[in-house]
Amino acid sequence: MTKIIGLTGGIGSGKTTIAKYFAEKGIPVYIADDEARKITESPDILQSIRTVFGDEVFNNEKLDRVKVSQIVFNDTNKLKQLNEIIHPAVKKHFKNWVLHHSNFDFIVYETAILFESGSYKQCDAVISVIAPIETRINRVMIRDSVSREEVLNRIKNQLSDEDLIKKSDFIVENNTLEEAKRQVNKILKKITIQ
């Protein structure tokens, strides 16, 4: 039976970089954010978003993701509503994806909100990627061209590294990529043995 390895971490922790490393090693990786983005384009989902957020989050009938992000990262109730629209669809899509990869010993499910969404319950093990707060802030400011304040707003809506450490089976401290890769290789040996 295919094991599901959950991979999570706060914004700017480098979890997507670690997910890519798993993929380089031939392990199938499901990037929930990427799939959610595709799923969000479906007419049913767009209509649900319009119902909750109104027409102001659309430009020429296209969803303005920046506007939606600004709203949800400043309003936890709106974030919850958005998650209630998207997560059931992603969950269903992931279930089908796992079936298509059932010939692998294990697969990786990467998502920023593994614990918040309850998705950790379907995982056989959870790996959290953590990094120093200043490193995370700088990575996101450069990557997304956003202010320090915007990054801090996003971070405060996520679990702290301390919470992630308590809830996870394995931790990757992503200070440098080479060190993080070494930690991943050790974890892979342990997972393979189990």
Any binding-site annotation on 14? yes
Any binding-site annotation on 16? yes
Angle between helices 76-100 and 65-72 (to 10 degrees): 120
Any binding-site annotation on 17? yes
Tokens 């599901």 identify what position?
4
Any binding-site annotation on 128? no
Please say whether the beta carbons of 106 and 5 come within 8 A.
yes
Any binding-site annotation on 8? no
Select from 2, 12, 8, 7 the least CA-distant residue to 140. 12
Please say whether the beta carbons of 72 and 78 come within 8 A.
yes
**Separation of alpha carbons 123 and 120, rounded Å:** 5
Tokens of 7: 């991979």
| Binding site as annotated, residues | 12-17
The annotation places the binding site for ATP at 12-17
